[in-house]
Structure 1
Amino acid sequence: MSTLTPRVVVVSRRSELDELLARHGTRGAAAFFLRERGRDLDEVTARHAALTTALTTVGAAIPADWRRGHVERADLPRFLFAPEDVVIAVGQDGLVANVAKYLSGQPVIGVDPEPGRNAGVLVRHAAGSVAALLRSRDGGEDRTMVVARLDDGQQLLGLNEIYIGHAGHQSARYLLTTPDGARERQSSSGLIVGTGTGATGWCASIARERAAAPTMPSPQDQSLCWYVREAWSSPATGATQVAGLLRAGGHLEVSSESERLVAFADGLESDALQLTWGQRITVTVADRRLRLL
């Protein structure tokens, strides 16, 4: 058993103000850019201040004898989490999903820097609650994740969903094999395979447009929902296998018939798997789960 003191790793992403300053150089130039478009710098400044305040409060809540670290969202693929880490994601709900794929059982605390603006599905705590949560680290819940595995051994994890489709958002061509063994050659805008956590996001927006959408799983259910987007029926391709449920032990298989398809999780396109013609990728319920406090 490790004798190391816990390390708190705070995860955040650059604010809109940071992005504007990186592009325009000065506040004056950023303000001019926004003003010419009927916007005001005060809005992004206030949001930046809220994030800064939350990060300061979280930092002050970490016990003095604990180790600490900080990583930005863009650097997550290159950051090495340790088994004794406690992760605090300060930002929108999507930030928890972004970090989940890089963890292996470490507890996550989601902090909402702007209560009332975010949905608060995953960032459920105010910054002022962090001290008590770090002391106890009890309770919480384990949320189901989804995994995609390439036939060359590479794999990709997601908390909300995994997207498989063309890298340039053109039509993706592939052979789909469903969990019940049905096979169909398709041309579509790609597939989404989502968890119960993701059922409130991208999957929900697709399901609203489907007359016979499958019942969404709950965040703890060991099952997934899947949807094909805009399947095109032609003499060579079909559009009958376009939605369903994927339970633990089953899998969905995609065999690429395009020169380049990609698979990425939770909107993080910079960390994607690539499929060339003939490669296969399978998607199933992951053995790993997110521990959300």
Structure 2
Amino acid sequence: MSAANDRKVVLVVRKTRLEDLIARFLTAEQAKFYVEHLGADFSDYEREHEIYQAARVSAVQTLEQWGRYQVIDRGFLPNFIFGPHDIVVALGQDGVVANTMKYLDGQPLLGLNPDAGRYDGILLPFKPNDLPALLPEVAADRRAAKAVTMAKASLSDGQVLHAVNDLFIGARSHVSAVYEIATAARHERQSSSGLIVATGLGSTAWFKSIVTGSLAIAGSFGASGAVAHYDALPWDARELRFAVREPFPSRSSQVGLVCGSLGTDDALRLRSLMPENGVIFSDGIEADRLDFNSGTEAIIGIAERQGLLIV
């Protein structure tokens, strides 16, 4: 690889469980005491940390030979500005890939599996030792990529949040979320545990558990006509699916508009009726959220941009 290559590589890393424990308990010894006091195996945390750090060292050594590169923790992604020609590398798990992709706009993304014995790695087709051969191909646009449709939440105050897997709209605590929901044809007031809007990629994750669980419950109560088989969408499908979690029927709340799909020209409109603790977050990262409190309107639809995962 030539150090003269002018395409910068951004390596996105994460903290291991051991690092999170040390941040909480200040030292490895105190973390070990806490974990073992609860009867858990602390050595598993140590093995995971050592393997991940070895994978990180291997990736960085490759990037040092490459030329321009930068290493960032995924916690800094909301405030990081990617260059239009950057090549982005995410060092697993799958969640790191999804959380990185939603901040990209056409930059190629490589997912590296740091520990194939631990992670299935649906979004991690490569290992760190594949990186030296991959980077020149990606830089020359000779590597195949898979398009990934994203969802977008746009608030009435101009704030925007993208999602690779799914958007959650609801309340931060276990209290009910109260809101108005509308499509082009229907409108109602709801009280529920919030709703999920999933992309094609997300249709294999949280959304799938909601749908299959609902089908199983309906079947156990003798519902007829329930479809037991669930088909996920392709990653690049220009379609979103939404489902309301635990909708509650009452004098002031309805349960007619609890699931559906959104095409390219469709939008789901939501207006918060919650004085506080209303949130919208994506891909399971609640820390990176939009406040969704009384009066705020959110428009949910397919994002204009797509993710680009190298395969």
Query: TM range, normalised to the smaller chain?
Result: over 0.9
Alpha-carbon separation, structure 2, partners of 1:263 and 1:119: 28
Matches within 5 A, 1:5-20: 5-20=6-21
What TM-score comes out, normalization by structure 2 length? 0.89
Alpha-carbon separation, structure 2, partners of 1:258 and 1:197: 30
**Hey, what does 1:194 align to over in structure 2?**
198
**Hey, what does 1:255 align to over in structure 2?**
271
**Hey, what does 1:278 align to over in structure 2?**
295
**Hey, what does 2:77 align to over in structure 1?**
76
212-221 or 185-194: bigger deviation: 212-221
Q: CA deviation at 1:165?
A: 0.5
Structure 1 contact 256–278 (Cα < 8 Å) conserved: yes
1:67–1:281 Cα change, 3 Å: same
Residue 268 of structure 1, aligned match among 285, 304, 308: 285
Q: Residue by residue, what CA displacement relative to the aligned partner does 1:38-69 show, whole Å, maximum 9, x if unpaired?
A: 11221011000111111111112226352111
Report the 3-state secondary structure (helix = DSSP H, G, I; strand = E; otherwise coil) of the residue aligned with 2:274: coil
Report the 3-state secondary structure (helix = DSSP H, G, I; strand = E; otherwise coil) of the residue aligned with 1:221: coil
Residue 173 of structure 1, aligned match among 161, 178, 185: 178
State percent identity of aligned pairs: 35
Structure 1 contact 4–84 (Cα < 8 Å) conserved: no
**Hey, what does 1:95 align to over in structure 2?**
96
**Hey, what does 2:222 align to over in structure 1?**
none
Q: CA deviation at 1:8?
A: 1.0
Alpha-carbon separation, structure 2, partners of 1:9 and 1:86: 6
Residue 222 of structure 1, aligned match among 238, 245, 257: 238
**Hey, what does 2:109 align to over in structure 1?**
108
Q: Residue by residue, what CA displacement relative to the aligned partner does 1:171-193 show, whole Å, maximum 9, x if unpaired?
A: 11111113x42111100010100
Residue type of the partner of 1:274?
D
Residue 152 of structure 2, aligned match among 143, 147, 156: 147
55-64 or 192-201: bigger deviation: 55-64
78-87 or 44-53: bigger deviation: 78-87
Superposition RMSD in Å: 1.7
Structure 2 contact 5–66 (Cα < 8 Å) conserved: no
Structure 1 contact 216–225 (Cα < 8 Å) conserved: no
List alignment gaps of at least 5 residues for structure 1: none
Residues 1:161 and 2:166 aligned together: yes
Q: CA deviation at 1:215?
A: 4.7
Report the 3-state secondary structure (helix = DSSP H, G, I; strand = E; otherwise coil) of the residue aligned with 2:20: helix
Residue type of the partner of 1:193?
V
Residues 1:242 and 2:258 aligned together: yes
Residue type of the partner of 1:207?
V
Q: CA deviation at 1:113?
A: 0.9
List alignment gaps of at least 5 residues for structure 2: 216-225
Alpha-carbon separation, structure 2, partners of 1:215 and 1:262: 29
Residue type of the partner of 2:232?
M
248-257 or 119-128: bigger deviation: 119-128
Q: Residue by residue, what CA displacement relative to the aligned partner does 1:220-248 show, whole Å, maximum 9, x if unpaired?
A: 10001111001000011011211111111
**Hey, what does 2:219 align to over in structure 1?**
none
Alpha-carbon separation, structure 2, partners of 1:237 and 1:116: 48
**Hey, what does 2:60 align to over in structure 1?**
59
33-42 or 225-234: bigger deviation: 33-42
Q: CA deviation at 1:24?
A: 1.9
Residue type of the partner of 1:229?
R
184-193 or 272-281: bigger deviation: 272-281
What TM-score comes out, normalization by structure 1 length? 0.94
Residues 1:233 and 2:249 aligned together: yes
- What is the number of equivalent residue pairs in this alignment? 290
**Hey, what does 2:220 align to over in structure 1?**
none
